[in-house]
Amino acid sequence: MQNNLLKKNEVGVFALGGLGEVGKNMYVVEYQDEILVIDSGILFPEDHLLGIDYVIPDYTYLFENQDKIKALIITHGHEDHIGGIPYLLRQVKVPKIYASGIAVGLIKNKLEKHKGFRVPIIEYQEYEKIVLGKLSISFFRTNHSIPDSYGIAIHTPEGVIVHTGDFKFDFTPTGPDASYHRIADLGRKGVLLLLSDSTNAELTDFTKSESVVSENIKDIFTKIDGRIIVATFASNVHRVQQIVEASVATNRKVAVYGRSMLRTLEVGRDMGYIKAPQGTFIDPHHLKRYPNEQMTIICTGSQGEPMAALSRIAAGTHRQISLQNGDTVIFSSSPIPGNQEGVSKTINMLFRRGANVITNSPLTDTHTSGHAGQEEQKLMLKLIKPKFFMPIHGEYRMLKIHSKIGINTGVRKGNEFVLDNGDVLAVTRRSARVAGKVQAGSVYIDGSGIGDIGSVVIRDRKLLSEDGLLSAIVTVDKETMKLVGQPVITSRGFIYMREHEELTSEMSQLVGTEVQNKLSNSTTINISYLKKTMTRVLSKYIYDKTERNPMIMPVIMIVNN
């Protein structure tokens, strides 16, 4: 299928996910009959109550244009950039995946669980330039909260498009430096369009360096006599290494808990990111063999996730670890918006069990973000000097603020594009315009299914969660057109019906009378009409009596056939 939004010499650039949201990143660069896809992420829904595990982009456009796809290119190994790969591969033919370093391990690990994928995963190196038809790609290393994060330069016949990936500039990083000179070189030679990370566009500062956090963690460790429990993001391999180093420096053994943290440890040690003297890591089952002052526990649960290790420790339901007076819990993390309540509950429980708790604050600095603040965004813009600018990776206000930063640092007014998912930016060496829209949206993943949860189901769950459900079941004799017995009223999540027998019997009578009336005035059983009638009379009656609006589920059973 030809993309009829684009003229022949135009390069199309658009997001299928990542604009107006933090998550499910997926950007597409299209030129004539070729498509490059950058990243394939998931989004963790803000609202944990509606039973949705995560959200992926609508892949329809890619499915319909799958013959054009040359490759999927991964910037780094975070879930909001790689988590959607198994779902994408089930629906869309992708000839190969390019990724680097730890992302390769994480993607392979992910695909092993979903058998039958045979797509080659090719590891790219920073110095490479890879030709993929009329387009080619090169790379530059950035700093981020997972090792091996890269920005991508897409070399098109119309000019270079730079996608920063997730980045910050950390002048004293735990891992290697960002490739300042490669970035500067791209800018010197001329960049047509910059797509840049907007996550921290509201932060007026420079994001703090990892080495500040590292120093603080070491400092805190030297002051603590008892057992130390540190919760952090499992993907932050550098941070885990810092915690290990602080433990070694204070003569502590390290035990690791939580599935994703154990995977980090395994991959991190395999790849040489996590290093420690022989005997530092102990078997989690041997915890009791070591005195408290010689133990560090690293675990998941820094976001208050109910099933994670730290939450179970706090609740007293962890199999191996029970809190003791003198234990100190360090959060080397900040709550992601939406998780504050969960984190707050965890902290309260930890305090109740007598633990000391150290959270990230301006006084402790036990955590720093992986994303560029405004000053770093400006530095990127100054180095890249793009003709056109499209802020990506952020909610609308972040994109908007970032676009202003672009203009303040030299992008010509009118050359900045704050877009939505699906909006196609068509660029040539001279011009840029919004050419139209391709299909983009959200697909909900719940349990093992893909996309069988639609917005109606979500809306129903929301209604159910507010006032519960009330069901009325009416049995009709097909021949006599008379009700059989009394309508049955039953409910869940509404009120205790057993304590409201009067209400129940009134509802049953009301529905019975109303349905019998309609039946008596009719010669056929119009099920949909009867159901509407039942819903109407019950809704009104219940609201009048209780000021509530439970969902009404009318059921009509027909007997005697």
User: Footprint of a copy of itself on this chain (CB under 8 A)?
Assistant: 20, 46-47, 49-51, 204, 337-338, 340-341, 344, 347-352, 357, 361, 363, 395-397, 400, 446-449, 452-454, 456-457, 460-469, 471, 473, 475, 484-485, 488, 490, 492-496, 499-500, 546-548, 551, 553, 555, 557-559, 561
- Maximum C-alpha span of the chain: 87
Q: How far apart are CA 260 and CA 257, in angstroms?
A: 9
Secondary structure in 3-state letters for 353-422: CCCEEECCCCCCCCCCCCCCCHHHHHHHHHHHCEEEEEEECECHHHHHHHHHHHHHCCCCCCCECCCCCC
CB of 558 to a copy of itself, least distance (A): 8
State yes or no: 114 annotated in a binding site: no
Residue of 197, 327, 423, 467 with catalytic role: 197
- CB nearer to a copy of itself: pick between 212 and 488: 488
- Asked if residue 51 belongs to a known ligand binding site, the reply is yes
- For a copy of itself, give the closer residue by CB, 246 or 476: 476
In the bound complex, what is the minimum distance in angstroms from residue 500's beta carbon to a copy of itself?
7
Residue (517 or 560) nearer to a copy of itself, CB: 560
Q: Would you say 144 is a known binding-site residue? A: yes
Cα–Cα dist 385/411, whole Å: 8
62: tokens are 């890619």
446 is in an annotated binding site: yes
Closest separation between CB of residue 523 and a copy of itself, Å? 22
Q: Is 371 annotated as a binding residue?
A: yes
Task: Give the dihedral sign, CA 86/91/96/99.
Answer: negative
236 is in an annotated binding site: yes
Q: Rounded to an integer, what distance in angstroms lies between the CA atom of residue 178 and that of residue 182?
A: 9
Which of 526-530's residues contact partners 24+ apart within 8 Å by CB, and which partners? 527/556, 530/474, 530/554, 530/556
> Which of 176/449 has CB closer to a copy of itself?
449
Q: Of the two residues 249 and 559, which places its CB atom closer to a copy of itself in the complex?
A: 559
Work out how close the CB of 144 gets to a copy of itself at its nearest, in angstroms, rounded to a whole number: 23
Q: Find the shortest distance in angstroms from Cβ 442 to a copy of itself.
A: 15
Instruction: Give dist(CA 380, CA 186) in Å, integer.
Output: 11
Q: Which of 170, 371, 423, 467 is catalytic?
A: 371
For a copy of itself, the closer of residues 284 and 451 by Cβ is: 451
* DSSP code at position 524: S
Start-end of H helices in 95-189: 102-113, 180-189
Sheet holding 129-132, edge to edge: 129-132, 135-142, 149-156, 159-163, 191-197, 386-392
402 carries an active-site annotation: no
- Confirm or deny that 402 is annotated as ligand binding: no
How far is Cα 486 from Cα 219, in angstroms, rounded to an integer?
Answer: 73
What is the rounded distance in angstroms from the CA atom of residue 269 to the CA atom of residue 510? 69
Cβ-in-10-Å burial (0-12, 13-18, 19+) of 354 comes to exposed
CB of 269 or CB of 500, closer to a copy of itself: 500
Verify whether residue 327 is a known catalytic residue.
Answer: no
Residue 33 CB, nearest distance to a copy of itself (Å)?
Answer: 35
Could you tell me the smallest distance in angstroms from the CB atom of residue 339 to a copy of itself?
10
- Is 526 annotated as belonging to a binding site? no
- CA torsion sign, 325 to 326 to 332 to 335? positive
**Binding site residue list:** 51, 53, 76, 78, 80-81, 144, 166, 234-236, 367-371, 393, 446
Q: Which residues are catalytic?
A: 197, 371
**Binding site residue list for substrate:** 234-236, 367-371
**Binding site residue list for Ca(2+):** 51, 53, 446
